[in-house]
Chains A and B, each alone.
Chain A
Amino acid sequence: MATKKIFDICIIGSGITGSLVADHFLSKGLNVVMLERGNDIYLPDTQERLWYEAWQQHSNNPAIYRNYWHNAEKYFDDLVEVENVHKEFGFHYNMKYGLGGSGAVWSGASWRFTPDDFKTKTLFGYGRDWPFTIEELAPYYAKVEQIFFTSGPQNEPAWLWQNHYKYPAFKQSYLDKVVKKVFAPEFNIIPNAFSVKNLPPVAGGCVGSKTCVQKCPANARFRPDLHILHKYFEDDNFTLLMNTPCFKVNLDKNNTVASVSTLQNGSEKEVKAKYYFLATNTIENLRILHNSADDKPVANSSGLLGHFFASHGAVAMSVILHERLFVGRGRPTTSSAINTLNHKDRDKFNAYMMEIWNFDWGVGITPSAILRKIRKTERHWGVSLFNKVKEADYRFAATLIFEMEMQQRNKVTLSNVKDKFGLPLAKVDFKLGERDELTFDTLKHKTVAMLRQKKGVKDIKVPGYGLNGNHPLGGYVCGEDPKNSVVDSFMRSHDHNNLYILGGGAFNSTSALNPTHTIAALTLKALDDKRISF
């Protein structure tokens, strides 16, 4: 059954990309329908995000990078699940459905990719070049930095690219300064960029609560639902359909998208529009597209839909220094080292960076949480236990994050397992490549061993390593050649001229940096496509 109304724009997904699309067209007075599979997000009032507990529980499993919420189902009744073909280094997706999507629960880390990330094939002989340079994407990055009220360093000498931040960077913590001294010269610890208002608390700025991902008590971290969609809730041109999973894209005889099929209150309904923007997460976009292929493939004339899937690799370190750090103060993280992104051996192994945390999330923030955690996981007692609690003020987490080579063999298809709506889950077939293996090995052993030898370091443990469950990338790679890519340089499907497929799936390289900023920049680039006309 089809709805009678034909909208100007149909957006599937209400996260960061979907909200940017809605903002763009609603501000022009166009008619927009947004389909959101989930409901409004319920965030627990208890401010204790317990994924670090899960970290410990799953420490024997290399695939620990899924940010488990304690009793996740209690908070989210509809998590994005995948089936992994290979259990080791499986991709455990952390995303959930709900208003604001993963943008409602992101850290705010706002890196631009480096110039070299856009041409790894040309420069280093691996991966895929993007069909445009960073210079072409720069104006969109700049816009994002304003829309997302990003705070970052101005004229940072270690920066590899230009920025256009709205607010200055947050101060580096005392811990950052000590670590900078200890880890030099191999790692140059500099301030991060975050889409978090660096304003005084009375002006709605960050208050350093350490619960950024879960919930910002000051609403200072950019959220698409709060900071974009709320503006339009009273707008007659905006139709927001919650609890409405989209499961299929329907084509007409001209190979353009005629409608999308949804489930509304258990009934199948079609929604029609002139343009369609698939703006769910990478995995969900791929599910919908694969599930749409009845008689003929959708967005898959190249045969590459689902291929080149990747994520970020990470090695977590729990570091104890001889110098006291006064941990757990300020934001959860304020600094990183990025001088390793363009290291001299990038033709052999992947780019990497180091994230510095202002506490060791492996054990917690407050002394009592640390006491319980060390007791529970390490079984210390008596003098030894209390010494460990004291030692926690000298202890922090650092994460080595690295890019992964996008290989054609790694792919996302459909599983035989069904979700609660009877729709097939995504099946992830991912294996580390040679470069990835070498990078893992180098970071896990050589780099950690090198850091252990540093004068100020008492001990470093590696509590876990694995795939980042927050950063699914690739699967509908972009390019100018329809035979070699799924979307073009404006994220429009090569096969269907009214279908745009947004998100990290369009990436041609993963970089080692958080992808959200680039996802947003690509979205603004797509919206600049002159072929969209009314």
Chain B
Amino acid sequence: MQHLIRRDFLKLSLISFLSTFFGCSRSLELSQDINSAIKEEAFGYFLEVVFPTHLFGLQKYQKNVIRLLKNLNSSESKKVVRSYHRFKDKYKNEHGSFDSYTLAKGENVISQLLTTRFFSGHSKAVNQALDIIYEQIGRIRELQSDFWGRKYSSAGKMCIYWHNYDQPVT
């Protein structure tokens, strides 16, 4: 019995230590669902770093992305929420709060999370979350035209520019 208590104590201590050391609150990131995460103000900042709509004039697609994220399966949404929490915690650790949030600061946080750290697993986890989000962004059909500010032509169908592909798009 003694040794079991000792083992659990060590386990808890280790989790606590890791949480502090890596700046993440594991219990919350594991329990929060994507719907409640999305409602947090910080999630908006997280999403803006990943998909900087303001910079590219694509603000109207933020809602589409959020709708798609809400429909993620359990495993995918957990990965996104977990990475969001890592972003939020690290940002707060470095800047105190989001009051003076800038895109550059947010980018710096993601960059750090993506930097491989021995044993941390952050890089892999955050990369997976980004893959999931970009996969969803790629599914927004209407967004495709706005990427290039012109219509695109799908493969396998008649080219929509077939009559004037020799001219620039005006």
Tell me which residues from 115 to 170 in chain B have a Cβ below 8 Å from any Cβ of chain A: 127, 130-131, 134-135, 137-140, 143-144, 147-148, 150, 152-159, 161-162, 165-169
**Bound CA span A208–B153, Å:** 10
Partner of B150, one of A209, A326, A383: A326
Q: Is the CB of A174 within 8 A of B155?
A: no
Q: Is the CB of B165 within 8 A of A174?
A: yes
Say yes or no for B52: interface residue by CB 8 A criterion. yes
Q: Is the CB of B152 within 8 A of A47?
A: no
Chain B residues with CB below 8 A from A371, complex form = 134, 137-138, 147
Query: Min CB distance, B127 to chain A, in Å?
Result: 7
Q: Is the CB of B166 within 8 A of A211?
A: no
Say yes or no for B50: interface residue by CB 8 A criterion. yes
Q: Is the CB of A201 within 8 A of B158?
A: yes
Partner of A366, one of B110, B144, B166: B144
Tell me which residues from 267 to 300 in chain A have a Cβ below 8 Å from any Cβ of chain B: none
Tell me which residues from 8 to 56 in chain B have a Cβ below 8 Å from any Cβ of chain A: 49-52, 55-56
Beta-carbon nearest neighbor of B104 in chain A = A383
**With A326-B168, A372-B134, A389-B147 in contact, is A382–B110 under 8 Å at CB?**
yes
Beta-carbon nearest neighbor of A207 in chain B = B158
Interface mask (B83-111 → A, CB under 8 Å = 1, otherwise 0): 00000000000000000000100010010
Partner of B152, one of A201, A209, A324, A328: A328
In this complex, the interface size class of chain A, counting residues with CB under 8 Å from chain B, is 35 or more
Chain A residues with CB below 8 A from B103, complex form = 383
Beta-carbon nearest neighbor of B134 in chain A = A375
Most B C-beta atoms less than 10 A away, residue of A47, A172, A174: A174
Chain B residues with CB below 8 A from A208, complex form = 153, 158-159, 161-162, 165
Query: Min CB distance, B140 to chain A, in Å?
Result: 8
Say yes or no for A330: interface residue by CB 8 A criterion. yes
Query: Min CB distance, A4 to chain B, in Å?
Result: 47
**Bound CA span A254–B159, Å:** 58
Q: Is the CB of A47 within 8 A of B137?
A: no
**With A208-B162, A329-B161, A389-B147 in contact, is A48–B135 under 8 Å at CB?**
no
Interface mask (A359-372 → B, CB under 8 Å = 1, otherwise 0): 00000011111011
Say yes or no for A381: interface residue by CB 8 A criterion. yes
Tell me which residues from 82 to 114 in chain A have a Cβ below 8 Å from any Cβ of chain B: none
Q: Is the CB of B148 within 8 A of A173?
A: no
Q: Is the CB of B166 within 8 A of A171?
A: yes
Tell me which residues from 143 to 190 in chain A have a Cβ below 8 Å from any Cβ of chain B: 171-174, 177
Query: Min CB distance, A373 to chain B, in Å?
Result: 10
Q: Is the CB of B156 within 8 A of A383?
A: no
Query: Min CB distance, A52 to chain B, in Å?
Result: 11
Chain B residues with CB below 8 A from A358, complex form = 165
Q: Is the CB of B154 within 8 A of A47?
A: yes
Say yes or no for A463: interface residue by CB 8 A criterion. no
Chain A residues with CB below 8 A from B140, complex form = 368
**Bound CA span A147–B19, Å:** 73
Q: Is the CB of A381 within 8 A of B156?
A: no
**Bound CA span A324–B167, Å:** 12
Q: Is the CB of B162 within 8 A of A201?
A: yes
Chain A residues with CB below 8 A from B114, complex form = 381
Beta-carbon nearest neighbor of B157 in chain A = A209
Say yes or no for A69: interface residue by CB 8 A criterion. no
**Bound CA span A376–B156, Å:** 23
Tell me which residues from 28 to 60 in chain A have a Cβ below 8 Å from any Cβ of chain B: 47-49
**Bound CA span A208–B157, Å:** 8
Partner of B155, one of A47, A172, A385: A47
**With A209-B155, A367-B144 in contact, is A383–B165 under 8 Å at CB?**
no
Interface residues, chain B, CB within 8 Å of chain A?
49-52, 55-56, 103, 107, 110, 114, 127, 130-131, 134-135, 137-140, 143-144, 147-148, 150, 152-159, 161-162, 165-169
Q: List 9 A–B pairs whose Cβ atoms lie within 8 Å, in order of A's numbering.
A: A174-B165, A174-B168, A207-B157, A207-B159, A365-B155, A367-B144, A368-B147, A372-B134, A386-B52
Given contacts A209-B156, A329-B161, 19 further A-B contacts (CB under 8 A): A47-B154, A47-B156, A172-B166, A174-B167, A210-B153, A211-B156, A215-B156, A326-B161, A329-B159, A329-B165, A371-B138, A375-B131, A381-B50, A381-B110, A382-B110, A385-B134, A386-B51, A390-B147, A390-B148
